[in-house]
Amino acid sequence: MSENWYSERNRKTEVFRKDEENISSPFYVSMKCLEITDSNKQHINVDVIVEERFDLFVNNIHITTFFASPMELEELALGFLVCEGFIEPDTKVDSIGMEDRSIFCEIEINTPELEELTHLERCGTTSYRKDAVKHNNSNTKFTSDAIIRAVGQLKEVGRIWHRTGGAHTSVICDNQGEVLFFCEDVGRACSVDKVVGKALMNGTDLSECALVTTGRLASTMVSKAVNAGIPLVASKGATVCEAVEMAEKAGIALVAFVRGRNLYVYAGEERVHNK
């Protein structure tokens, strides 16, 4: 598959787009733009991904504001609360519901506990986590083939990426590299939160799974896997020093630059073996 979503769209995925062209979606809208190439200039219609604002309330306390794609918002809320350390994956959630552009959660958590979480400013957004890094005691291991297979499916399941080129995709897969759940979003962090929330809503034991996502594995992304109890996180992209250090401390595997038949294991190499 081509790395360039637009050239790919104009070739192999023309059939895909023809099949989908009459299907409306809150993910994207059609907009006109001026296309300039070496030999031509013309106005064309393209699909542009939508980003909307949503506020999250827990026990009527405003926790954060998302700028996200307007789908799977209950999954987003649950995944965010787990991935950012507010609650454990097995915490009982009494209710999650929407009202206008607000998500309301009722959770069995002492409201004062929310104040005990560290408040961080990350890349222009607000998120929270506990200071202590949880150690992952899962015995789950993965073959390099399974990791390569899972990463290879990111673009295959990325329908909105094919339409717009503006979506990130995250998947939860088993230790054979089979995709169990996938989600797309305009933001890579929200795509992770959504897929974790979806897996938890379906009763999945994340200690036996891997998180595979598009984009760079920054410490903010790796911390989500750590808090969710996921033993391996992988990407086709790069990682950063702080993410590697966090993965080592948590005892999880961090795999980056998964390209073709090659990959780099930066942390947790005991969880990865050949074939």
> Crossing angle for the helix pair 73-83 and 219-228, nearest 10 degrees?
90
Residue 161 tokens, joined: 């990426």
Q: What is the DSSP string of 106-124?
A: EESS-GGGGGGSEEEEETT
What is the pLDDT, as a whole number, of residue 115? 64
* Dihedral sign (CA 196, 23, 54, 235): positive
pLDDT of residue 112: 72
Q: Tokens representing 111?
A: 């409201």
The pLDDT value given to residue 53: 94
- Domains, the chain, in order of start with CATH, read 52-129 (3.10.20.10), 142-273 (3.40.140.10)
pLDDT for the residue 243: 96
> For 149-163, what is the mean pLDDT?
90
Neighbours of 127 (CB within 10 A): 21
> In this structure, how many other beta carbons lie within 10 angstroms of the beta carbon of residue 15?
8
Residue 155: pLDDT band with limits 50, 70, 90: confident
Q: What is the mean pLDDT of the chain?
A: 87
pLDDT tens, position by position, 30-57? 999 999 999 999 999 999 999 999 999 9
**pLDDT score for 123:** 46
pTM (predicted TM-score) = 0.87
Question: What mean pLDDT do residues 132-139 have?
Answer: 91
Q: Yes or no: say if 212 and 151 are a contact pair by the CB < 8 Å rule.
A: yes
Residue 7: per-residue pLDDT:
43
Mean pLDDT is lowest, of 84-93, 188-197, 244-253, for: 84-93
Give the per-residue pLDDT at 109.
Answer: 78
Query: By the 8 A CB rule, do 195 and 168 touch?
Result: no
In this predicted structure, what is the pLDDT of residue 22?
A: 43
What is the per-residue pLDDT for 127?
58
pLDDT higher than 50, residue 199: yes
Higher pLDDT, 206 or 134: 206
The fraction of the chain above a pLDDT of 90, given in percent, is 70
pLDDT of 13 above 60: no
